[in-house]
Amino acid sequence: MLASVWIVLLAVNIEAGDGQSVQMDSIKSGFVGSQVELRCIFVNSNPPVKISQVTWQKFLNGTKQNVAIANPSLGVSVLPPFKERVTFKQAAVRHRTPSLEDTTIMFSNLRLSDEAAYICEYTTFPAGNRENMVNLTVFARPQTRMTLTTPTIVARPQKRKMTVATCLSANGKPQSVIKWDTRLKGEATFQETQNANGTVTVRSNYVVVPSRETHKQKLTCIVTYNNERITDSVVLNVQYEPEVKIEGFDGNWYLDRQDVSLTCKADANPPVTVYQWKVVNGSLPSTVEILNNSLIFKGAVTYELAGTYVCAATNGIGTRTGLVQVNVTEFPNNPPPGGPEIPQEQHNAGAVIGGAMGGVVLLAAAATLLFVFLRRRQRTFKGDYSTKKQVFGNGYSKAGGLPAHPPIPNNLQYPDDSDDEKKPAQIAVTGGFDASERDFDGDAEDLKRPYFTVDEGESRDYDERTLAFQYDPETEIADDMVSQTDGSVISKKEWYV
């Protein structure tokens, strides 16, 4: 009989136990320093069982550690190191009430060491213990910052690379990603450090060659952490030597022009403190006035203003120069509207000078053509004669009954590469010829003697050796002779050899 009663009671307890459960979230998360709620709800049976005690435990690496205990009779107890950071959410639990169905705790000021699995265990009578577990993940928001390597970056002539800015994401969990957003051409380097507490520090440097172009360029660092974007920006302050140019010369400085000046423009950081002017291989004109970074030329433009002007600009980094070549013309190149006009007398003078120069050119061309024409008229046949020539006083042979001239020596030389006439080095003439024995025509221009040019008025200086300049027409040529283009004749035998 007693055995039967215990069997019935046991069956009731099992049935009641089957109707009890502990409800919790499977995972929860929070950031370091924040607060998180860990829910724990006991679902009782009907008829309900008696809750004797609720215990929260931290489960890490196979070891359990008590966090907080709630007892209807003894009250609430929170153990170190959670004493100041863990409380029960429901006030009834805190005031020793028998109602312990909701024992949710509030976890504040989270630490990285709080990351673990937490167990909520119910002790009931007569059903025994019921429990469930939640996994708590603790995130660490990184400390991000972006800084310039130095407050002032100096651009050196050596054009060396240097780190100008650093972007840091320190002690983050999980690891963050760094990217750069800028129009400045450069290189990014990255370094990751695993910390002992499970966080990661990421550092990225931006490397460029400092120059005038990098001054005032904006650098933006983008840190992506846990689907969150964190941005920070800096503007580069680059110091560089002056970049110098001289303005004011428009290429149209002419005599008597008024109000001209030169200005030295310099792009520099820090600003230029000293300007110096000079003229290459000369000195500044006496009419110039130096005003700040400008040269003011007083009065009218003169040739004295021509020259190469140099401006040297100096700042705290160095000195650079610029130059301009100033030319002064007599008249304006392109007179501006409303500007000074060239007087009519100057126009006329220019026209006269231009006409005279044109005439000189034409005369020179005509003289050249005449010289070439006469030169060609003096050229004679340059063939290779294998027989002796019969040369008379006028330098031409004549078919007919003329007396034979003394023969020319066989060793006469005729230079092959001379442009002058091939002629004997010396011709001896004794006595004169009777005019009655000549049959020359004075009007035959083709029979003019090309070898000698002695004026008739000077023939008396030659005494009896005076050469005759008379031209007789050639009435007939012997059948066995052939006329040449230069006026001479040779035998057919010679011609056909």
Q: Which residue has the tokens 């030329």?
A: 297
In the chain, ranges of CATH 2.60.40.10 domains: 2-139, 143-236, 240-329
**Residues 160-175: tens digit of each pLDDT:** 999 999 999 999 999 9
Q: What are phi and psi of 431, to 5 degrees?
A: 75, 180
**What does DSSP assign to residue 102?**
B
Three-state DSSP string of 239-285: EEEEEEEEECCCCCEECCCCCEEEEEEEEEECCCCEEEEEECCCCCC
Among 220, 160, 168, residue whose Cα is nearest residue 189:
168
pLDDT at 19: 73
pLDDT at 74: 86
Q: Which residue has the higher pLDDT, 195 or 401?
A: 195
* Distance (Å, whole) CA 51 – CA 126: 9
pLDDT at 352: 41
Name residue 235's beta-bridge partners.
Answer: 218
Q: What are phi and psi of 120, to 5 degrees?
A: -110, 115
Per cent of the chain over pLDDT 70 is 64
* Distance (Å, whole) CA 70 – CA 122: 10
pLDDT at 126: 85
- Select 143-236's CATH number: 2.60.40.10, 3.40.30.10, 2.40.10.220, 2.60.260.20: 2.60.40.10
3-class secondary structure, 289: strand
Name residue 51's beta-bridge partners.
Answer: 124
pLDDT at 494: 55
**Residues 197-215: tens digit of each pLDDT:** 999 999 999 999 999 999 9
Whole-angstrom CA distances from 71 to 75, 93, 126, 419, 455 are 5, 8, 16, 141, 159
What's 2-139's CATH class?
Answer: mainly beta
Cis amide prior to 174 (ω within 30 degrees)? yes
**Residues 438-457: tens digit of each pLDDT:** 343 444 444 344 433 434 43
Name residue 24's beta-bridge partners.
Answer: none
Instruction: Determine the length of the chain.
Output: 497
Burial environment of residue 313 by CB neighbours within 10 A (0 to 12, 13 to 18, 19 or more): buried
Instruction: Kindly state the average pLDDT of the residues 289-314.
Output: 95
pLDDT for residue 254 is more than 90: yes
Cβ–Cβ under 8 Å, residues 178 and 190: yes
Q: What is the pTM of this model?
A: 0.55
Q: Residue 404's pLDDT band (boundaries 50, 70, 90)?
A: very low
Burial environment of residue 341 by CB neighbours within 10 A (0 to 12, 13 to 18, 19 or more): exposed
pLDDT for residue 127 is more than 80: yes
**Which helix H or strand E contains 355, and what residues bound it?**
helix 344-377
Q: Which residue has the higher pLDDT, 130 or 92?
A: 130
* Distance (Å, whole) CA 252 – CA 148: 49
Question: Strands (DSSP E) along 342-454, which ranges?
Answer: none
**Residues 419-430: tens digit of each pLDDT:** 444 444 443 333
Q: What are phi and psi of 368, to 5 degrees?
A: -65, -45
**Residues 79-93: tens digit of each pLDDT:** 998 999 999 998 777
pLDDT at 91: 78
pLDDT for residue 269 is more than 90: yes
Cis amide prior to 81 (ω within 30 degrees)? yes
**Alpha-carbon torsion 100, 106, 112, 113, what sign?**
negative
Look up residue 247 and give its two tokens.
């303005």
Helices (H) and strands (E) in the chain, counts: 4, 30
pLDDT for residue 119 is more than 80: yes
Instruction: Kindly state the average pLDDT of the residues 372-400.
Output: 46
Among 137, 139, 131, residue whose Cα is nearest residue 117:
137
Cβ–Cβ under 8 Å, residues 16 and 47: yes
CATH code, residues 240-329: 2.60.40.10
3-class secondary structure, 457: helix
Cβ–Cβ under 8 Å, residues 134 and 161: no
